[in-house]
Amino acid sequence: PAAGERVAYPPEEIVLSFAAPVRTATTTVRLRAADGSQIPLTTLTPDGTVDTLVLGVPVLDTDVYALGWESVGDDGHRATGEVVFGVGASPGDVAVAAAGGDAAALLLDGLGLALRLLWYLGLAAAAAAVVLGRGGTTLAAGVLADRGPRLWRLLAGLAVLRAVVGALTLLDAGADVTTVLTSRGTLVWASLAGLLAVVGSRRPTGPALAVLAVVGGTLAGHAPDRPDAVQAVTFGAVHLGAAALWVGPVLGLVLLARTVGWRSLDPDERGAQMRAHVAEIATVAGWALAAVVTSGGVLALRAWDGQSVTTWMGEASTAVLLAKTVVVVAIAVPLGLHHHRQRERMVDVGGGLRTEAGALVLALALGAVLVVLDPGWGRATGDTDTTLAALLDGSAGPPERCADVDVGQATCYRTALEALLVAEGPQAAIDEVLRLSETDAFVAAGCHQVAHDLGNDAAERIADMGVALAVDGSACWSGYTHGFVEARLSDITDREMSAALPTFCDGAADPPYSFSHYNCLHGLGHGLMLRADADLFAALPLCEDTGELWAVHSCASGVFMENVMAAQQGQPAEFDDEDLLYPCTVMTDPVAEDCYLMQTSHVLWRLDGDVAGGFAWCDSAPQAHRATCYRSMGRDVSSRARLDPAGVVSQCDLGQPALVRWCLDGAASNAVYETADTTLADALCALVQGDRRDACTAARDQAARTVAAG
């Protein structure tokens, strides 16, 4: 589910699609309900390195849930995320926390942040050594000759510590020793440490070593895992290197002024060395600032990733980025410009230069925090075309293969049928659902829902409603049409709803009162029920906005059917366990008949398929609605008997003899609507005589005319 989404039915699987491959061993997913209880999940993805992680979910009650995940990458960096969604309920302002590591994880992450900041300061020190060494003053040369080798040994030690902490983080996340030792972070940091220790002892102020440290550290981080790895590494290294060139020399000059040698110089000599260094720093800082702004802009735009300003402003990484920007723009840059203008008159390190150095170090620290918050990955949207079927063998494959899938069959069929929808159009996919319903037990049992999911997918793929509904969507009680309309309705705002309803199905109303026109309005009823948060008495008045009485009846049938389906899915529904005919018993014209025409699906479900008991409830209905109730029973026993004519007759005979004809009426209509053909209805009518045959053939012919009209 997408963040903040309300889904009508509990998901059978949750699919997480990552921007870069993750190891299943070092990825943890938690699902919690609003009360904090943890929901058990089953990992359906084979162990290894994957782009997509699929998890099986038990049947979820109506509630708000939070899905929290964390994954430790090859560099030892921990990435986390959380998606709050509702099942049959709107998340609203409900706060649910699913993420959160243990004490060891928090300690390791804290050490990682501290070492990252120390590494940045070490790079700044290396930049200071290079730039101040170029200034050529006697004092700077002496200090660098004394402390230069220690600088590179210090960086080498920091690289070793980063390798160790990264390795411990991977171990804590569940990786084995082999994985840890061969991970990119461990190998690159260890190699970089060796190079800095060996080469640094020979060339203590070499610019090449500083470049090596910047690029090597970037390669050891998570930039190579980005979808745009080359850009990420390039701009990341440029940004960090430029920041070091800006921060380091200023900070180095402040620290140089604290040495005994600086304080022992006479004022004239101190002023001369000060002006020489500031002149060198000003030139380098100007170019460094340009590089920081350019590369930082690219990195920030990638981190923004096109989301709305409101969403972007609400993220923690945005707050840190803005704080960093304020420090740079409001403090460091104005002070830098001031010192640039005053450089010919500067004779000592004053408070302004120390403030500038402090602001730059603060910006560097905020940069370290920003990396921890990990901006720049694509935001979670809940939208993904990658599902279990594609995961198993890299492609959707034919629907037949889904019969052999042990877990995730619903997702497998949905993916395969969506692929067929895209490749050959909606009619081919609908025909495939109908074919599968005759041979595949899973599709036969959930035919309407399978077709319904196909309709949801078609709404995402096909913009023109007239084109999408210009099909024979009668298969599986028009599940495709219902799903399409339900999804399309979600695009209309509450404010636009009343004005949009009278013309909502105009694209499917050619000819008017046709089967496709009815199915569109019926699907509209399903959608209105969902928009009303399963409130039957709020959805029915919306149906009245559709206009004429025929449209109201068609829409209301969808509302009542959604009420029945919701109850069977464990969602909120308007029913009474003591009176199985409620809410029909409180309905008035014009929608009471539509209620009774759907109610027996609920009655039989509550009675565990007791057909005789279902007829008994129909017999207790008001006289004016008993025939309608029997027609509803005819539809249900027809489906339960898999349209077998003999089975239908034997079950209809369990009702009152005077009303059996209406059961056959409903069964004959159902046979035509299910198959878009009269063959099974002909066989059914041939098994009965007298008024029963008359009712059967009349219903058959009416249904056939409706289907033929489109």
The angle subtended at Cα 592 by Cα 588 and Cα 594, nearest 5°, is 150
User: What amino acid is encoded at 55 in this protein?
Assistant: L
Helix (H) or strand (E) holding 80: strand 78-87
Q: What tens digit of pLDDT does each residue of 468-491 get?
A: 877 777 678 778 877 888 788 877
pLDDT band at residue 93 using 50, 70 and 90 as cut-offs: low
Question: What percent of the chain is modeled with pLDDT above 70?
Answer: 88
Q: Mean pLDDT throughout 132-157?
A: 70
Q: Mean pLDDT throughout 286-302?
A: 83
Spatial separation of the C-alpha atoms in residues 216 and 195, rounded to whole Å: 10
pLDDT at residue 634 in the model: 96
More confident residue, 212 or 466: 212
Q: Which residue has the tokens 């599940």?
A: 479
pLDDT at residue 682 in the model: 96
Q: 21 near 52, Cβ under 8 Å?
A: no
pLDDT at residue 493 in the model: 81
pLDDT at residue 305 in the model: 56
DSSP 8-state secondary structure symbol assigned to residue 87: E
More confident residue, 562 or 618: 618
pLDDT at residue 158 in the model: 92
pLDDT at residue 87 in the model: 80
pLDDT at residue 387 in the model: 37
Q: What is the mean pLDDT of the chain?
A: 83
Q: What tens digit of pLDDT does each residue of 500-551 get?
A: 888 888 877 777 888 778 878 888 888 888 788 889 999 999 998 888 899 9
Is the pLDDT confidence value at 138 over 70?
no
Q: 70 near 27, Cβ under 8 Å?
A: yes
Spatial separation of the C-alpha atoms in residues 53 and 405, rounded to whole Å: 17
- Could you tell me the pTM of the whole model? 0.54
Range with top average pLDDT, 262-271, 320-329, 335-344? 320-329
pLDDT band at residue 386 using 50, 70 and 90 as cut-offs: very low
pLDDT at residue 97 in the model: 60
Range with top average pLDDT, 44-58, 188-202, 327-341, 665-679? 665-679
Is the pLDDT confidence value at 441 over 60?
yes
Q: 119 near 246, Cβ under 8 Å?
A: no
Q: Mean pLDDT throughout 339-349?
A: 79
Q: What tens digit of pLDDT does each residue of 452-461 get?
A: 889 888 887 7
The gap from C-alpha 38 to its chain's centroid, in whole angstroms, comes to 20
Spatial separation of the C-alpha atoms in residues 535 and 193, rounded to whole Å: 65
Q: What tens digit of pLDDT does each residue of 365-383 get?
A: 988 888 877 655 444 444 4
pLDDT at residue 591 in the model: 92
pLDDT at residue 273 in the model: 79
Terminal Cα-to-Cα distance of the chain (whole angstroms): 35
pLDDT band at residue 203 using 50, 70 and 90 as cut-offs: low
Q: 578 near 610, Cβ under 8 Å?
A: no
Range with top average pLDDT, 91-105, 659-673, 695-709? 659-673
Spatial separation of the C-alpha atoms in residues 709 and 224, rounded to whole Å: 60
- Of 100-114, 393-407, 681-695, the one with minimum mean pLDDT is 393-407
**CA dist list (Å): 667 to 379, 509, 562, 638, 647:** 50, 26, 21, 5, 11
Q: Mean pLDDT throughout 235-264?
A: 84
Beta bridge partners of 79: 71
Q: 579 near 585, Cβ under 8 Å?
A: yes
- Of 15-24, 394-403, 430-439, the one with minimum mean pLDDT is 394-403
Q: Which residue has the tokens 């049947």?
A: 59
Is the pLDDT confidence value at 16 over 50?
yes
Question: What percent of the chain is modeled with pLDDT above 90?
Answer: 25
Closest C-alpha to 418, from 495, 325, 483: 483
Query: 229-256 vs 103-135: helix axis angle to the nearest 10?
Result: 60
Is the pLDDT confidence value at 414 over 60?
yes
Q: Could you write out the three-class secondary structure of 140-173?
A: HHHHHHHHHHHHHHHHHHHHHHHHHHHHHHHHHH
Q: Mean pLDDT throughout 142-162?
A: 79
pLDDT band at residue 311 using 50, 70 and 90 as cut-offs: low
